[in-house]
Amino acid sequence: MKFTEEHEWLRTDGDVVVVGITEHATTQLGDLVFVELPEVGTVVTKDEEIVVIESVKAASDILAPIDGEIIEINEALADNPALVNEDAVGDGWFVKIAPSDTSQMDEYMSEAAYQAHIA
């Protein structure tokens, strides 16, 4: 897994990159009450807004960590946004992206570096 300074995680799954937010982010945001996901097939550019989340504390935008195409969204979040709080790095993922440039993953932190970042 790789991590962004904005508390997103990225995990490769074959040729696909799965994107979500970290447990640290869910702790900071509080309980999620709404998640707006992009359409499957949307072509995204790194640092473009792809997901909007609302919690009891704030609204936040999740930015695309890499260039590519959204090939799957986590439809379970529409009915149960709290799934992100319950299992942030597992069942609480947001989107799966078919990356157009996998070298962009190299820009992000390892888990050890991320833990140091949030310490």
pLDDT digits (tens, 9 = 90+) for 17-69: 999 999 999 999 999 999 999 999 999 999 999 999 999 998 999 999 999 99
Rounded Cα gap, residues 77 and 33, in angstroms: 10
Percent of the chain with pLDDT over 70: 100
Q: Is residue 119 part of a domain?
A: no
Confidence of residue 13 (pLDDT cuts 50, 70, 90): very high
> Where does the pLDDT of residue 11 fall: very low under 50, low under 70, confident under 90, or very high at 90 and above?
very high
Find the domain containing 58 and state its range: 2-101
Within a domain: 116: no
Interatomic CA distance for residues 101 and 79, integer angstroms: 32
Domain membership flag for residue 110: no
- Asked whether residue 108 is assigned to any structural domain, the reply reads no
Report yes or no on 118 lying in a domain. no
Write the CATH number for 29.
2.40.50.100
C-alpha distances in angstroms, 66 versus 18, 99, 106, 116?
A: 11, 7, 10, 23
Q: Quick one: which of 113, 106, 85 has its CA closest to 5?
A: 113
* Inter-CA distances, 2 with 34, 58, 75, 89, 104, Å: 25, 25, 23, 11, 11
pLDDT of residue 81: 96
